[in-house]
């Protein structure tokens, strides 16, 4: 990316509102990804940043940058008022939310619309309909989309009502938070005696994580696979499905490795799931890129799980297999253009896999890792793609999600894609911190993964058992201490440093001399 020069002005098209300046309301690799797509379309970009991200790659790649506030997300990236201020101050006429943070915040979309600013995403109505899992189930039910048996809990504190609802759903079952995701506010219950306590704990966790303690019950599908369908819809009546992504390699409900096509989805099953996904999207008048997630049982039955009303972390493998730039399509749709490929998905080719490289130590109970990156080395070669925002000299902190890099490969078939990903992982060097690359390599060599015969329990025993608390506490303390040292060195108070220089200037000169940036 380059911040130099001025994008060319595209001629006006009837019925189209061109985006001139796009504010990217996110950070990290997705912000870099969106900025690149915008620049290719001749759109000027605005980055936003917290104090912790002042020298981040997305800030350097944009044409302009606007400070939101301190490092804590609640004081920066989650501040709707500050995001709106940034739009007004920079003259941005559109906003792309990326994923996470405010990506599925209907209030932000409404506030932007009131100011005449284009939101690159679905309508507030669609976000509300699909953002709450209970509401989403109701929305898609009339469209014939198959649902896992479940029950609402209008009185979660009423023990008798909770037990009655649980018996109606059947065991085993999941207690799930209505809002949010990522495994928070979720409990597996195998017998009636544990359901009341599970509901209390899930509701408490959901309230802390999402500000909403609403939970519901859902039958647990034994031996499930997590398979999602990519959909994209324009304002011209076209809603198209772009195949499936197998997302069953998970740790605590967080995806680790994704692939397309799924090793177990037949052409017949794919057609049914794509039709259901399109029906789910059309049930709420969806616009833009979104993902409909399903559970696939061992018997081949599939059930609606939820819909993510945003671009997904794992969208690159769909791009690689179908030859479509999904972020560019989002921008086209927001401007009023129809889908670039028409009413039918392009012909898919080959097999694509993505591995998420995170700053954590899988061999020490997945403790987070913080520190300064030394000279990094990223893999290359045919069919290898790296989506990230890492650079030599970068300070990796504990303030945000620990995803560092997405490594994506494509090959003619699945065995070749696995071999290519393994080679690319061995080539990757991120010195200065600990990553989960050893876990990823072990997973690729696991006979269950190699055969394709795996489900969401694959990683349950892939990492060593959690260490004894007495051993963990010193390690956590050391990680926190290191994080604080990095924070103080990188974005502490702007008090005069030795020689009268501010810490910002002094740090910049040190990095320049050392080639750190």
Q: Are the C-beta atoms of 148 and 154 separated by less than 8 Å?
A: no
Tokens standing for residue 411: 């090959």
Q: Are the C-beta atoms of 34 and 24 separated by less than 8 Å?
A: yes
Give 517 or 258, the one with higher predicted confidence. Answer: 258
Residues ≥6 apart with Cβ < 8 Å to 367: 360, 361, 472, 475, 476, 479
Lowest mean pLDDT of 145-159, 319-333, 384-398, 431-445, name the range.
145-159
Lowest mean pLDDT of 68-77, 117-126, 455-464, name the range.
455-464
Alpha-carbon span 260 to 420, nearest angstrom: 15
- Give tens-digit pLDDT for 203-217: 888 888 777 888 999
Mean pLDDT score of the chain: 88
Phi/psi at 392 (5° precision): -60, 130
Identify whether 310 is a catalytic site residue: yes
- Give tens-digit pLDDT for 118-141: 999 999 999 999 988 788 988 998
Domains (range + CATH), the chain: 21-120 (3.40.50.20), 149-219 (3.30.1490.20), 225-461 (3.30.470.20)
Which pLDDT value is given to residue 505?
47
Write down the pTM of the prediction. Answer: 0.82
- Of 342, 307, 316, 341, nearest in space to 122 by CA: 307
Residues ≥6 apart with Cβ < 8 Å to 127: 104, 105, 106, 109, 121, 309
Q: Are the C-beta atoms of 435 and 358 separated by less than 8 Å?
A: yes
Residues ≥6 apart with Cβ < 8 Å to 243: 229, 230, 260, 261, 270, 274, 318, 321, 322, 345, 348
Give 468 or 331, the one with higher predicted confidence. Answer: 331
| Helix, coil or strand: residue 493 | coil
- Give tens-digit pLDDT for 37-57: 999 999 999 999 999 999 999
**How far from 401 is each of 49, 101, 182, 367, CA to CA, in Å?**
15, 11, 12, 13
Which of 139-153, 167-181, 349-363 has the highest mean predicted lDDT (pLDDT)? 349-363
Q: Are the C-beta atoms of 398 and 483 separated by less than 8 Å?
A: yes
Query: Which residue of the set 310, 385, 410, 420 is catalytic?
Result: 310
Q: Looking at the predicted structure, is the pLDDT value of residue 509 above 60?
A: no
Alpha-carbon span 161 to 423, nearest angstrom: 54
Alpha-carbon span 126 to 283, nearest angstrom: 9
């Amino acid at each position: 990316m380059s911040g130099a020069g001025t994008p060319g002005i595209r001629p006006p098209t009837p019925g189209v509102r061109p985006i001139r300046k796009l504010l990217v309301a996110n950070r990290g690799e997705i912000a870099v990804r969106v900025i690149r797509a915008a620049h290719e379309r001749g759109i000027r970009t605005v980055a936003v940043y917290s104090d912790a991200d002042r020298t981040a790659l997305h800030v350097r790649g944009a044409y302009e940058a606007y400070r939101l506030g301190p490092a804590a997300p609640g004081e920066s990236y989650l501040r709707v008022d500050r995001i709106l201020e940034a739009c007004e101050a920079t003259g941005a006429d559109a906003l792309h939310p990326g994923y996470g943070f405010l990506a599925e915040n209907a209030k932000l979309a409404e506030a932007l619309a009131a100011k005449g600013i284009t939101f690159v995403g679905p309508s507030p109505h669609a976000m509300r309909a699909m953002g709450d899992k209970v509401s989403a189930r109701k929305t898609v039910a009339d469209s014939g989309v198959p649902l896992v048996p479940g029950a609402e809990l209008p009185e979660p504190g009423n023990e008798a009502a909770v037990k009655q609802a649980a018996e109606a759903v059947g065991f085993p079952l999941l207690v799930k938070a209505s809002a949010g995701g990522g495994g928070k506010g979720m409990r597996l219950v195998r017998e009636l005696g544990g359901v009341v306590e599970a509901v209390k704990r899930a509701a408490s966790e959901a309230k802390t994580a999402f500000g909403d303690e609403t939970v519901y019950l859902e039958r647990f599908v034994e031996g499930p696979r997590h398979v999602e369908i990519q959909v994209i819809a324009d304002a011209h009546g076209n809603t198209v499905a772009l195949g499936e992504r197998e997302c069953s390699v998970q740790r605590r409900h967080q995806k680790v490795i994704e692939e397309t096509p799924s090793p177990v989805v037949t052409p017949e099953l794919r057609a049914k799931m794509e039709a259901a996904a399109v029906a789910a999207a059309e049930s709420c008048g969806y616009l833009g890129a979104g993902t409909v997630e399903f559970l696939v049982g061992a018997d081949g039955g599939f059930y609606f799980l939820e819909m993510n009303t945003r671009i997904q972390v794992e969208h690159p493998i769909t791009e690689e297999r179908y030859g479509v730039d999904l972020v560019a399509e989002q921008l086209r749709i927001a401007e009023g253009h129809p889908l670039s490929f028409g009413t039918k998905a392009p012909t898919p080719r080959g097999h694509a896999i993505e591995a998420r490289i995170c700053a954590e130590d899988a061999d020490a109970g997945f403790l987070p890792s913080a520190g300064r990156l030394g000279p990094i080395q990223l893999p290359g070669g045919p069919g290898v793609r790296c989506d990230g925002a890492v650079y030599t000299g970068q300070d990796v902190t504990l303030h945000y999600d620990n995803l560092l890099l997405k490594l994506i490969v494509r090959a003619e078939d699945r065995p070749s894609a696995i071999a290519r990903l393994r080679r690319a992982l061995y080539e990757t060097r991120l010195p200065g911190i600990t990553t989960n690359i050893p876990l990823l390599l072990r997973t690729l060599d696991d006979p269950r993964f190699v055969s394709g015969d795996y489900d969401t329990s694959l990683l349950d025993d892939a990492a060593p058992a959690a260490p004894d608390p007495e051993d963990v506490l010193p390690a956590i303390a050391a990680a926190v201490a290191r994080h604080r040292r990095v924070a103080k060195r990188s974005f502490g108070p702007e008090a005069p440093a030795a020689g009268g220089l501010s810490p910002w200037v002094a740090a910049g000169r040190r990095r320049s001399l050392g080639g750190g940036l």
